[in-house]
Each structure stands twice: as C-alpha cells, then as structure tokens.
Chain A
Amino acid sequence: MLKNYFKVAVRNLRRWKGYASINVFGLATGLACFVLIALFVRDELSYDRYHENADRIYRMVEIIEGAEESASNPLPVGAAVAETYDQFVESTVRFFNLQAPTLAISYEPDDGPARAFNEPGFFFADSSVFQVFDFAFAQGDPATALDRPNTVVLTESAAQRYFGDTDPIGKTLLFEDQHPLEVTGVLEDVRPNSHFTFDFLASWSTLRSSVFAQNTGLLDFNWYWNPAWTYVLLREGVDPASLEAQFPDFIEQNWPDAIKAQSSLYLQPLTDIHLHSRLDFEIRPNSDDLYVYIFSVIAIFVLLTACINFMNLSTARSMSRAKEVGMRKAIGAQKSQLVGQFLSESVLLSVLSLLVAIPIVWLLLPVLNAMADKAITLNPFVVPWLWPTLIVVALGVGTLSGLYPAFVLSRHEPARVLKGSGRTGTGGGASEGLRRMLVVAQFGISIALIAGTFVAASQLDYLRSARLGFDTEQVVMVPILRTPAGQQYDAIKNELLSHRGIQSVTIAEDVLGSKYQTNTYQPEGYTETVQFPRMLVHDDFAQTMGIEMVAGNDYQQGRNPGPVVIINESMVQHLGWESPEDAIGRSMGPAGQNGELQRRVIGVTEDFHFASLHQPVAPFVLDRMFPGQVGFFGRYLAVRITPDDVPGTLANIESTWQTFLPDRPFEYLFVDQELDALYRAEENLSRVAGAFSILAILIACLGVFALAAYAAERRKKEIGVRKVLGASVPHLVALLSKDFVRLVLVAFLVAAPLTYFAAQRWLGAFAYQVPVGPVPFVIAGSLALGIALATVSFHAIRAATADPTSTLRAE
C-alpha cells in the first residue's frame, strides 16, 4: 500500500511540476534557514562547554561599587584563593597580558632573518592552567610544560608563524626583546567556541623571574590593581555559594582600605560568560543571549512561513485530488488511511526538500560564518547531532505541514465529488478562510522581519554616526605599551610633528570610547574617597581627540605643573559645582599631608562617550600621566592626521617608529574602526536578520505566486463572463489583486504594533536609542505590498488578457 501511496505522490509531483517545485524549493529554503540558524544558535550555546570540568569552573568577578564590575582581579587573588580555600577549590588559574593590546614576540633563527610580531593573544598563566582547562597538546607534557620560569607553550598556528615546519620544542622566543622563553609545548589551536582564544601561554613564574623581577611586590601585595583574569576550579560537589560566602572575609583581610567598603567578589560560571557577561575589562567582547533568542525566533518564523506555503498549496490544490479521494473512499478506504496517505506524501516532500536544503546550507554556511565571525562546520564528527536532528526536523515539518491538508483532502465526500465533472461549489469555505489567515501570518512575519531589520540597521547607523563628543576620524593609534617608546616620547613626538600630515600627538591609556579604567578621588568637600572612571592621558589629549573644552585648558607642555586633572561636565554636575568655570581650581584629589589642595581642576570638557553607547555618559576624569607612568600606563601613541595622503602619513609614522624603535614591529589602528568593533554583535545581528528576512519574504511570495495562480485558474470562468460583459483588463486585475492586497493590509495591522514593541525592547539595551518612527514600518509594509502586488498581477494580467471564448467554451 505504501508503494501505491509513493507512486501516486511521485506522479503527482511530476504532473504538477510548478506547484511541486514551489513547494519543495520553499520548504528547502525554509529548512536551510532553519538549519543555518540552528547551527549558529547551537554554536553560541556551545561556548566553553568542551572543557571536561566546565560545570565546575568559575571566573572571579570583582565589583567596586560605583566604579566598575571587573572581569579581572588583583594579581595575588588566584594564588591566595587556592591556598586559603583548599577545601572548596581544586585549582585556580590566572591569565595576565600586562593589559597590553599586543605584546612583541620575536624569534631569531640561526640562519635566516628574525621573525617578529605584535601578538594580541599572549598571556602569562599559572602552570595549573591545564588542570583547570582542557587545551589539547600536540606536543609536550601538560603537567610540566609551564613549571619553570621562562617557558612558553604556543598554538600550532603560532608555531607555524615563527618556526615554519621545524620542530618548535626547545627553541627560544624573545619576549619584548629581552626575556627569553623556551618553547615547552605546542597546543592545538584553541577552539573558536571559547570566550577567549590565545596563541601563547607563558609561565607565571616568568613574571617573577624576569618581567617584574625589579618589582615582585606587584605580584604579591598589590590588591588594588586588578589586571588578572582569575578562574577557579571548584572541588567536586562544592556549591559555589559556599565559596562566595568566604569572600567578604577574604576582602577584609587583603583589600586596601580605600576600596574595601565598596568591593565585593562573586563567581561567574564559565559557561555563562559568552552569552551573559557584559563586565568591564572582558578579555574579548562577548555575545548576548538576546541574539540567540532573536535568531531562534527568526528561524522558527522562516520555517513556519515555508510550512504555511506547503499547507496553502496543498489545500488550494485539494480539488484536483478530490476525485481520487472520492474514489478511494468509494472502494472502501477509511478516512484514517487517506490521512495516512497524504501525510506520507508531505513527509516525502519534506524529505525531498531536506535533500535540496543540504546543498543550500553547504553553500551558505561560509557566508554565515563570514557574516557572524564564526567557524561552524557540517562535519558529522564535529556535529554528530546534526544529521539525526535534520531527519527528525524534516519528518516533523512534513507531519506538521501535512496534517491540516491531510484532513482537508480526506474530507471530500465521494457522493459529491464523484458525480459529473467532479467540481464542487466554492471549494470549502473553511479551508479558504484558513488559507487567508495563513497568508496573513506569512506576510505578518515578513513585515515584522523587514521592519525589525530596518530598525536594527538604523540603530547601528545611529551608533556609528552618533556625536560621540570627540572626533574619531583620522586618529591613528600605535600600541606602545611595554616598548621603550615612553622613554623617547618627546623626541618621537617632535619628529612626528615635523611631518606635514600630522597635526597633533599624545599618549592614551586606552582607545577612547571603548575602554577606561577607574581611580580613587576625594573631591573637595568629600570626607571619603570615591571611585570614578578615568583615563590617563598625556599633553594635547583633548586637542588630538577633538574634545571641546568648555572651561580652562587642555594639558600642554610646561603649563600647569603639579598634580592637575581635567574633568567633564557631568562630573561638574555630579559634584554639584555651579559651572565649569566654577570647577576650575577646585580639588579632585585627597588633601595633601599639610591639607593643601591636590589634583586641581585645570579644565572642563564637554561630555563625550568614553564607553560604548550601551552605557550612558557619566562623570569622568582625564588624569594627567606623569613621565614615570608613561612606560606603565601609556598603551597607545595617538596621532591626529590630516585627511589628505593618509598612506603617505602612515609611512611617515612608520619610518619615525623605525628610527627610534628598530627592533619592535610597527602596528597601528584607527579609532573609528576600533569603535565599530564595539557594535559587532549588533552588526552581525542586523546583517544576518536582514538576510533571513529577505528569504522569509521570498518564501512568502512563492506561496502567494502559487495561490494567485490557483485563484486565477479557479476564476477563469468568472473572468471570461466578466470580459464578455465588458469588463476592462485593469478592472479584472484589480478584482483579482484586491483579495491579496487586503490580506497584506491585515498582516501589516497585526505585525506593525508587535514589531514596534519588540523593537522598543531591543533598543532598551542601549543607553542611546534611535527613535522608532513610522519609516521602517512604511518601508516594510510597502515592500510587502509591492512584492505581493507584483506577484499577483502577473497572474491577474495573464488571466485578464486571456481569450474569454476559449475558457467559456471549455465549460
């Protein structure tokens, strides 16, 4: 019997090729979208779960009330927690990169030229790192690899970069031109589904023996500076809350008095980091679970749209199967048998669609990977769940979308359909009504997706072009942390300024607008210290960054000696000072030993966005960097250049660099590009959502195309009669299009408010939001209407221009 069903199904497909291919193609596209998004979502959810102990690993987070919620901790914390709380803690590991965006590594082979790179993925780590995490070794022994000072393990791709095909083990890399690091192990590249990846892990003991040899106190006694990402592996069965309960004591014993009262610590599950963590000083920007939800909803919507097509086309074509159903019933088929037949038909079709969907997925996956910055694979060894899931989904989709048509089709009564020509009245009012509802749903989904995409895109646009309060264009940042640049800064600055294209030079602690630190202040009139966000900067900072001064002046060479600060307008308001002018000369620092004013305010800037637009502007301090601090806090040389001949100016900066720092690789970045990276998650979202919303409307249009064809076919006789009676072609086109137009309008009325509320919720994640006006909805609505009209008119015009005598005679 199944064979008979199969035969009928296949021959039906062959006979109604147009409908069948629309069905299969639509469903395949829907399935492909669904699979791609499922892969994406699954990848997002898989972060860091490959570590065997993932459920026992936590990251320590330090909160300093009112100042920061930091992903990193003071350097001594990791070791102290392991020692003090042995009963809770199996192991801890710290990662530390000297807070440098990149670090210089070089290798000088016995033969051939030296290889030197600025490495963004270099960390010092405790030797316990391989007890806590599962990073696979290609060569070397995890138990001893980082035991000794001046050892390093590196990933295969890093090894390739420095050593080519020669064996890296035992070779020596040079860290910052001076500290030798012996390669003791080679790791497989860190999986991309990790909240951070690295290329080098150097032994923690190297810090003590080499890098901080002159200042080991930093490692043991500085509980204020918090640059180390600290992970804790709890013992089996230990409740994280029981360790967290110890932290107040721990802080009481160790933290400096100035921040003791405001400080607290908590444990963040490793597997929560990628989707839920938006702390200060993350190693890498994280994703957001909101996007996982949004994409999941899109996936289900697109698949639903495709299923609806399937239902609509199947029920619309129900008449053509009426005779068969009637006949099968007449010879004794039960309704359940017919339902079974049509269900197996739709399952067959969805399996067929799956076969078409797989190559689509295969083709589009690299595109998705590029758009979303991922390395997702279809390899069944990597994603063993994928293929069985696909089959289940195909069966599920076949059943879901076949169920309703199966009941409609098997409902035909033989007594009615077998008589005469096999035509029955109007073709089932109930299924007609449902079909309309489904079309409304499809267009509603499409309109929502399009409007949503427009809102997301305009928000992104807004973020990019928002007046940040400083001028991000034409500012070149050159990483200089842990180079000798600071010692020769004045000479370098003078040399740079001698070039025509260079307007201004300064040093900054971070890229303004992306990152900041905090510091302790005690403004005039305060009896206690407070933490405020700050950035350490050098002379001419406001000028270089294009920040407007509203009172006082920028830091300038030789002017305002002594401890001075520049604050922003928000700070003036926050402190209740009358005006920017009033703030000048007041004190921000704790009073000196003799009660004299410290850190006098010499300038007030306009407010500017010192962090991403996810956060509102707050009080901020531009602290002046003392010459002694440059080597330690000066991360970037910031150079404002003129827009003309940028390549020439960059070449001049590089040649200046080579003159003063011949041994260090030169690197630079543009501030505006760096700031774009802050919104990468949003950008990925809008691109991916845009792509899928186009697909959704495509699928919906396929469906409408077929439905319009069906409607035109069914009303052939009516059209013929109307034509004979003198109806014009435009009149007939309007007649046939009216129905669909009405459906799109209803869809718009349903979708627009829902989308509006969803968009408002999404925008709530930003401190600064583009206002949601009617424009995205007008665009989405007219787009949907336009496409629907174009689709319907094709058939309407064809039907309306057909020769009426032929259709009437056929009756």
Chain B
Amino acid sequence: MTHTDIADRRPLIRTEGLRKVYTTDEVETTALNNVTLDIKTGEFIAIMGPSGCGKSTLLNILGLLDQPSGGSFVFDGTDVSGFNERRRADLRRGTLGFVFQSFNLIDELTVYENVELPLLYLSLSSAERKERTEAALDRVGMAHRRDHFPQQLSGGQQQRVAIARAVVASPQLILADEPTGNLDSSNGDEVMKLLSELNEAGATIVMVTHSPADAEFAHRVINLFDGQVVSEHFMEKEYALPHQSGE
C-alpha cells in the first residue's frame, strides 16, 4: 500500500483546527491545539505520544464521547462538531464501536448479553440480534463462553468479548484506547491480530497506544505532543487496502 492509494479512499473523518480546552477552577488546560486530521475509510490509524499529550482526548472527540472547544469535525460528510449529546448518542449508536484498555464489560451481564447490548439499543428483532451476536462471538472465538460472566474470564478473553461487542453492530469506525494496555504480551498480540483481521475485513480503526509493537499493526502512525500533531508517517510494511463495498 502506498500513500497515494489511501488518498483515493472515501474520507471518513476530517478535522480542521480542532481544539479542546479544559477549564477548571481558574486553570485552563489546552488538551488539543489545532489538530487537523484526514482519515479515510478502511484505514488503521495508531495515535501515539507521551502521557498527557491529548491522545485520549482526541480519541474521545473522534468517538463523539466529547465535544471539541473549537475547530471543525466532519464525520462521514457531516459536520458534527456542534452536535449536542442527544445527536451524538444517536450517531454513536451502530456507527461507532469502542474498545477500552479496561474492557468495560458490564459485570452483571453475561458474555452473550454484553455483546448483544448495542443491538438492543438499535431495536433489532430478537432473531437478528441472536444471529449477529453469535456471529460476533464466533469471530472472536468466544462462543463457548457465551454464558460466562466477565469476572470468570481472563483479561485477554474479556478484551475479545469487548471487541465482539464493538463490531457486533457493524460500525463504520472502531475506536480502541490502549486495547492491550491491561494484557500480557501474548494476549496483547492476539488482540492486535484480531483488530487487524477486522481491519482487513473492512473496518476503519483508530487506536491510541503506547506500544510501538502495537503500532506496527497500523497503516499510519500519528504522533501527538502537547496537544499538537507533531508528525505522522506511513508504516513501511505493505498492506492491501481492503475492498470497499459501495464504491
């Protein structure tokens, strides 16, 4: 894959001059400062940088969990920077999938129920929910643990369930916040392989990571420092961009 290949893809995310300022008790902290990004469908992006550089803030804004203080943010052709919480929630539903460092599975729900949850909010029929949930569990190899509760699983298993939950609604974008941060290296590797399989199957992925090894799986690495993009580069490795439906 080359730089020019990517330029041909349909843009999914475009930000310009994105700013995020936190104001607490007379102290203003600028978390993001003039961030301009261009992410195409099917890309696998790794965002790197030291602690406190604004990685997570950026990911939260891209994931519509947080609102920018300034700048524009166009998601799939729509400017969403002014969206209120209600509209952002509507957009998140079915469009975005999240994977977190601490898995964030709901302890009171079984593996199956955790994965099914996004579909419940999409008000799908129970037959369709069943089919898609089972498919997602198969895909991450957790079908045999469907009736277990999160506490009964290892960290790696929990993260696989979280990934199944992130993809079950076939979102346009998967956001992963240090997905291997709580895992040992072999479990971490497995999770990364799973993510790149998903990417190969068509998912756009934006991942925040500290780990250079994990970043190896991405097409493009964006480096943040003090809330600004300081550099970005394409990985040496050749990747075949997945086939895109609808084009």
Do A and B assemble together?
yes
In the bound complex, residues from chain B placing their C-beta under 8 Å from that of A559 are none
Closest Cβ neighbor of A14 among chain B residues: B108
In the bound complex, residues from chain B placing their C-beta under 8 Å from that of A422 are 102, 104
In the bound complex, residues from chain A placing their C-beta under 8 Å from that of B65 are 329-330, 413-415, 418
B117 pairs with A4, CB closer than 8 A:
yes
B98 pairs with A419, CB closer than 8 A:
no
Q: Is A810 an interface residue (CB 8 A)?
A: no
* Interface membership of chain A positions 321-342, coded 1 if the CB is closer than 8 angstroms to chain B and 0 otherwise: 0011011111111110100000
**Bound: A323/B93 CA distance, A:** 18
**Bound: A419/B104 CA distance, A:** 9
- Which single member of B63, B105, B113 contacts A7 (CB below 8 Å)? B113
Q: Is B19 an interface residue (CB 8 A)?
A: no
Q: Is A15 an interface residue (CB 8 A)?
A: yes
- Which single member of A324, A327, A332 contacts B89 (CB below 8 Å)? A332
In the bound complex, residues from chain B placing their C-beta under 8 Å from that of A335 are 85-86, 89
B121 pairs with A331, CB closer than 8 A:
yes
B104 pairs with A332, CB closer than 8 A:
no
**Bound: A512/B102 CA distance, A:** 83
In the bound complex, residues from chain B placing their C-beta under 8 Å from that of A333 are 89, 93, 121
In the bound complex, residues from chain B placing their C-beta under 8 Å from that of A334 are 86, 89-90
Which among A327, A333, A334 has the highest number of chain B CB atoms within 10 Å? A327
Tell me how far the C-beta of B82 lies from the nearest C-beta in chain A, rounded to whole angstroms: 17
Tell me how far the C-beta of B23 lies from the nearest C-beta in chain A, rounded to whole angstroms: 15
A1 pairs with B104, CB closer than 8 A:
no
**Bound: A329/B64 CA distance, A:** 10
B85 pairs with A415, CB closer than 8 A:
no
- Which single member of A12, A418, A420 contacts B98 (CB below 8 Å)? A418
Which among B108, B169, B177 has the highest number of chain A CB atoms within 10 Å? B108
In the bound complex, residues from chain A placing their C-beta under 8 Å from that of B230 are none
B108 pairs with A418, CB closer than 8 A:
no
In the bound complex, residues from chain B placing their C-beta under 8 Å from that of A499 are none
Q: Is B107 an interface residue (CB 8 A)?
A: yes
Q: Is B135 an interface residue (CB 8 A)?
A: no
* Interface membership of chain B positions 33-64, coded 1 if the CB is closer than 8 angstroms to chain A and 0 otherwise: 00000000000000000000000100010010
Known contacts A1-B120, A330-B98; is-contact A419 B177 (Cβ 8 Å): yes
In the bound complex, residues from chain B placing their C-beta under 8 Å from that of A326 are 104
B109 pairs with A332, CB closer than 8 A:
no
In the bound complex, residues from chain B placing their C-beta under 8 Å from that of A418 are 65, 98, 100, 102, 104, 177
Q: Is A11 an interface residue (CB 8 A)?
A: yes
Q: Is B188 an interface residue (CB 8 A)?
A: no
**Bound: A7/B106 CA distance, A:** 12
Tell me how far the C-beta of A697 lies from the nearest C-beta in chain B, rounded to whole angstroms: 33
A332 pairs with B106, CB closer than 8 A:
no
**Bound: A332/B64 CA distance, A:** 10
Count B interface residues, CB 8 Å. Answer: 36
Q: Is B227 an interface residue (CB 8 A)?
A: no
Q: Is B165 an interface residue (CB 8 A)?
A: yes
A331 pairs with B104, CB closer than 8 A:
no
Q: Is B132 an interface residue (CB 8 A)?
A: no
| Docked complex: B82-104 residues within 8 A CB-CB of A | 85-86, 89-98, 100-102, 104
Closest Cβ neighbor of B109 among chain A residues: A8
A332 pairs with B121, CB closer than 8 A:
yes
A332 pairs with B85, CB closer than 8 A:
no
A15 pairs with B63, CB closer than 8 A:
no
B165 pairs with A331, CB closer than 8 A:
yes
Closest Cβ neighbor of A15 among chain B residues: B108
Which among B90, B102, B123, B169 has the highest number of chain A CB atoms within 10 Å? B102
Q: Is B118 an interface residue (CB 8 A)?
A: yes
Known contacts A8-B106, A8-B109; is-contact A419 B121 (Cβ 8 Å): no
**Bound: A414/B121 CA distance, A:** 16
Which among B101, B106, B122 has the highest number of chain A CB atoms within 10 Å? B106
B90 pairs with A327, CB closer than 8 A:
no
B109 pairs with A7, CB closer than 8 A:
yes
- Which single member of B91, B102, B105 contacts A421 (CB below 8 Å)? B102
In the bound complex, residues from chain A placing their C-beta under 8 Å from that of B106 are 8, 323-324, 327-328
B92 pairs with A330, CB closer than 8 A:
yes
**Bound: A422/B101 CA distance, A:** 11
**Bound: A353/B202 CA distance, A:** 51
B100 pairs with A324, CB closer than 8 A:
no
B85 pairs with A419, CB closer than 8 A:
no
**Bound: A1/B117 CA distance, A:** 9
Closest Cβ neighbor of B177 among chain A residues: A419
**Bound: A241/B60 CA distance, A:** 77
In the bound complex, residues from chain A placing their C-beta under 8 Å from that of B107 are 15, 324
**Bound: A335/B87 CA distance, A:** 11
| Docked complex: B165-179 residues within 8 A CB-CB of A | 165, 169, 177
Closest Cβ neighbor of A327 among chain B residues: B104
| Docked complex: A1-50 residues within 8 A CB-CB of B | 1, 4, 7-8, 11-12, 15
B108 pairs with A331, CB closer than 8 A:
no
Tell me how far the C-beta of B134 lies from the nearest C-beta in chain A, rounded to whole angstroms: 17
**Bound: A330/B63 CA distance, A:** 8
In the bound complex, residues from chain B placing their C-beta under 8 Å from that of A1 are 120-121, 123
**Bound: A8/B118 CA distance, A:** 15
Which among A8, A328, A337, A415 has the highest number of chain B CB atoms within 10 Å? A415
In the bound complex, residues from chain B placing their C-beta under 8 Å from that of A421 are 102
Q: Is B66 an interface residue (CB 8 A)?
A: yes
**Bound: A328/B113 CA distance, A:** 12
* Interface membership of chain A positions 408-426, coded 1 if the CB is closer than 8 angstroms to chain B and 0 otherwise: 0000011100111110000
- Which single member of B56, B109, B113 contacts A419 (CB below 8 Å)? B56
Tell me how far the C-beta of B199 lies from the nearest C-beta in chain A, rounded to whole angstroms: 20
Closest Cβ neighbor of B85 among chain A residues: A335
**Bound: A573/B244 CA distance, A:** 112
| Docked complex: A417-437 residues within 8 A CB-CB of B | 418-422
In the bound complex, residues from chain B placing their C-beta under 8 Å from that of A327 are 98, 104-106, 117
A332 pairs with B94, CB closer than 8 A:
yes
- Which single member of A15, A331, A414 contacts B93 (CB below 8 Å)? A331
In the bound complex, residues from chain A placing their C-beta under 8 Å from that of B177 are 418-419
**Bound: A333/B96 CA distance, A:** 12
B101 pairs with A420, CB closer than 8 A:
yes
**Bound: A82/B183 CA distance, A:** 97
Closest Cβ neighbor of A417 among chain B residues: B104
B66 pairs with A419, CB closer than 8 A:
no
In the bound complex, residues from chain A placing their C-beta under 8 Å from that of B122 are 332
Tell me how far the C-beta of B87 lies from the nearest C-beta in chain A, rounded to whole angstroms: 10
| Docked complex: A554-581 residues within 8 A CB-CB of B | none
A11 pairs with B108, CB closer than 8 A:
yes
**Bound: A186/B104 CA distance, A:** 75
In the bound complex, residues from chain B placing their C-beta under 8 Å from that of A4 are 109, 113, 117, 120
Tell me how far the C-beta of B90 lies from the nearest C-beta in chain A, rounded to whole angstroms: 7
In the bound complex, residues from chain B placing their C-beta under 8 Å from that of A330 are 63, 65, 92, 96, 98, 104
In the bound complex, residues from chain A placing their C-beta under 8 Å from that of B108 are 7-8, 11-12, 15, 324
Tell me how far the C-beta of A415 lies from the nearest C-beta in chain B, rounded to whole angstroms: 4
In the bound complex, residues from chain B placing their C-beta under 8 Å from that of A332 are 89-96, 118, 121-122
In the bound complex, residues from chain A placing their C-beta under 8 Å from that of B120 are 1, 4
| Docked complex: A310-365 residues within 8 A CB-CB of B | 323-324, 326-335, 337
A-B CB proximity, top 4 nearest: A332-B93, A11-B108, A415-B60, A415-B65
Q: List 12 A-B contacts (CB under 8 A).
A: A4-B113, A12-B108, A323-B106, A331-B93, A331-B165, A332-B90, A332-B122, A334-B86, A337-B121, A419-B56, A419-B177, A422-B104
Could you tell me which B residues sit within 8 Å of A by CB distance? 56, 60, 63, 65-66, 85-86, 89-98, 100-102, 104-109, 113, 117-118, 120-123, 165, 169, 177
Other A-B contacts than A4-B120, A337-B121, 14 sampled, CB-CB below 8 A, are: A4-B113, A8-B109, A324-B108, A326-B104, A327-B98, A327-B104, A327-B117, A330-B98, A331-B98, A332-B90, A335-B86, A418-B177, A419-B100, A419-B177
